[in-house]
């Protein structure tokens, strides 16, 4: 099972196994990782599952969905490595992915 590391804004790191086919958002929610709210439940309507993908991983994950950038405009403190974690699919290729969580959603 692919491992994903979520690093909270306070530096606390969580490495968890996430089933293939889920999203990085679901991986966090199922493992009770705080820092990802996912208010809309993954329908790309709220920008509360915002993460910063580590630079070395940014080009290895699936590309942004149509409209994802529009939602990221509303996220808290976005930068060029910002993604909505509900739009990142978990596959074998992203085993080892590291994402930083923002100060708040």
Partner 1 sequence: MIKTDALIIGAGPTGLFTAHQLNIIGLKCEVVDNLDKIGGQCIELYPDKPIYDIPAVPECTGEELTNNLINQLKPFDVNFHLNERVEEVKNENGHWYVKTNNETVFSTPNVIIAGGVGSFEPRKFTPKECEQYEGKSIFYSIKDKNIFKDKIVSIFGGGDSALDWAVELSANSNVNLIHRRDEFRGAQSTLDKVYELEKEGKINLFTKYQLKIPKGKGKLDSIDIQHENKEIKNLKTDYVLGFFGLIMQLGPIANWGLNLNKKTIEVDTEKFETNQKGIYAVGDICSYPGKLKLILSGFHEGALAARACFKLARPNEKYRFEFTTSSSSILKRLGKKSD
Q: How many CB atoms lie within 10 A of CB 104?
A: 11
- Residue 75 vs 90, nearer CB to partner 1: 75
**32 Cβ contact partners less than 8 Å away, ≥ 6 residues apart:** none
**Residue 9 engages partner 1 in binding (rule: CB under 8 A):** no
**Residue 46 engages partner 1 in binding (rule: CB under 8 A):** yes
Only one of the segments 3-11, 19-27, 41-49, 91-99 lies at the binding site for partner 1 (rule: CB under 8 A); that segment is 41-49
x/- mask, partner 1, residues 52-91, rule CB under 8 A, reads -----------------xx--xx-xxxxx-----------
The encoded tokens of residue 98 equal 């590291």
Residue pair 48/40 in contact (Cβ under 8 Å)? The answer is yes
**Residue 37 engages partner 1 in binding (rule: CB under 8 A):** yes
The span from the CA of 45 to the CA of 31, in Å, is 22
Tell me, by CB under 8 A, how many residues bind partner 1: 20
């Amino acid at each position: 099972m692919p491992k994903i590391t979520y690093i909270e804004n306070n530096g606390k790191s969580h490495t968890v196994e996430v089933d293939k086919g889920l999203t990085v958002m679901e991986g966090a929610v199922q493992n009770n990782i705080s820092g990802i709210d996912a208010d809309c439940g993954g329908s790309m309507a709220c920008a509360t599952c915002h993460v910063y993908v580590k630079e070395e991983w940014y080009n290895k994950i699936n590309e942004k969905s149509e409209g994802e950038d529009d939602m990221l405009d509303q996220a808290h403190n976005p930068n060029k490595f910002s993604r909505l974690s509900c739009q990142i699919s978990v596959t074998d290729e992203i085993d080892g992915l590291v994402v930083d969580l923002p100060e708040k959603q």
